[in-house]
Structure 1
């Protein structure tokens, strides 16, 4: 089943001003996060698979945004993006078990490894390179351990757990879906051990990554996803890519996107591109689109139905 997940906008939300006349300064139900709230609601109403709260050093704190999105929705699945430096694996697991309990298991984890060393250092995280991969492996191992076993003991280079684990009421909840990414041997090893979904970029060789994961983790099901930016062409558009751009485009960074590679086109054209990737084994699309509120509706009202129609035609042809 193909799922489309909206990457929420990064960066600080602008504050509301009084304007030329006096207004109600209380804002909406969510105050400064009202714009984000509207986007969460749009994603759910439009039938998207979920949203991702990104780990942006200059943006809102992802766990706060993720729990806000879960609280404001009934069916939306929400992914919190974070580095292992966020917390100990035991605390992250306990926090997530509580969230799963109150949201019927709708939380996912996108665990980031590496990145810009200067940006990580600015957040108080000096661990880089091979050590960052080893720490992520220990983090996910220990988190799953305390989640599923009691008592649980773990001895590693970065974490130690002595007879830990959860009892009632936290035990028994589904562990968050784990999203990992990367193309180096170490990153693929990490995904082979822990990922439920391995995320690629648009230009990656899907078949080669599939083969590498199957070789590293025979018999274990790891779904493939793609992180990309999109722009749905519509009448009167003046805030997207240049008019001459169509199909694959690597200039989204100029529009403020964090993912520079993506797709530009009509709903039918984007659906066809998604379907081509689906036929190669990609089942998850994490898309960045701006303005997020409007694009969420365009994706749900136009792109998803076109994609579903292509899938139905394929199923009919196979019968």
Structure 2
């Protein structure tokens, strides 16, 4: 089944106001929290599979955002993006067990490895390179271990857990869906061992990545996803990519996107691009689209139905 997950805006919230000509007597009654709530609700109403709260040094804290998104709806899933330096694996697992209990198992983890060393160091994280991969492997091993076993003991280079594990009521719930990414041998090893979904970027070869994951972990089902930006063309559009841009475009950074490459087009054109990737084994689409509130509705009203039509046509043809 194809899933579309909306990547929430990152970076500092924009300044709001009416300028020197007027005074807004409402004060902070409508602020960034209300806009975030409306975006989460839009994603649920529009039928998106979930939202991803990004780990951005200048943005909101992703676990808090993910918890708010989970609380705002009954079906929407939320993925918190974080580095293992965020917390010990036991504490991260305990937080997640509580969130899973309160939200019916709708939490996901996007565990990041690497990134800009200067940005990571500014957050107090100086582990880089192969050590970062080994730490992520230990983090996920220990987190899943205390979730599933009691007593659980683990002794690694970065973490030690002695006679740990969860009892009632934290035990028994589903472990968060784990999203990982990367194309290096070490990153593929990590995904083969721990990922439920391995995220690609446009330009990666899905068949080649699938073959590498299968070779590393025969019989283990790891779904393929892709992170990309989109701009859905519509009548009267006065922002977004230049009018002459259509199809695959690498200029989304100029619009403030975190993911620089993606697709521009009508709902039918974008659905065809998504469908082409789906036929190559990609079933999860983590989509960045701005402004997120308006685009959440647009994706649900226009892109998802067009994509569903293509899937029904393929099913009918197969019969």
Do Structure 1 and Structure 2 share a fold, with TM-score over 0.5? yes
- Aligned twin of 1:57: 57
In structure 2, C-alpha distance between the alignment counterparts of 1:21 and 1:260, rounded to whole Å: 38
The offset of 1:231, in angstroms, is 0.3
Alignment of 1:215-230 (within 5 A): 215-230=215-230
Report if the CA contact (8 A) 2:17-2:24 is conserved.
no
Alignment of 1:1-319 (within 5 A): 1-17=1-17, 20-28=22-30, 31-319=31-319
The offset of 1:17, in angstroms, is 3.9
The offset of 1:38, in angstroms, is 1.0
1:131-151 deviation per Cα after TM superposition (whole angstroms, max 9, x unaligned): 000000000000000000000
Unpaired segments ≥5 residues, structure 2: none
1:187-212 deviation per Cα after TM superposition (whole angstroms, max 9, x unaligned): 00000000000000011011100100
In structure 1, C-alpha distance between the alignment counterparts of 2:187 and 2:3, rounded to whole Å: 23
Structure 1 residues 22 and 10, CA gap change in structure 2 (3 angstroms): closer
For these two proteins, the number of residue pairs brought into alignment is 317
Unpaired segments ≥5 residues, structure 1: none
Q: Which moved more, 1:18-27 or 1:119-128?
A: 18-27
SS at match of 2:284: strand
The offset of 1:24, in angstroms, is 2.0
The offset of 1:23, in angstroms, is 2.1
Report if the CA contact (8 A) 1:6-1:289 is conserved.
yes
1:159-203 deviation per Cα after TM superposition (whole angstroms, max 9, x unaligned): 000000000110101000000000000000000000000000011
In structure 1, C-alpha distance between the alignment counterparts of 2:149 and 2:24, rounded to whole Å: 58
Aligned-residue Cα RMSD (Å) equals 1.0
SS at match of 1:174: coil
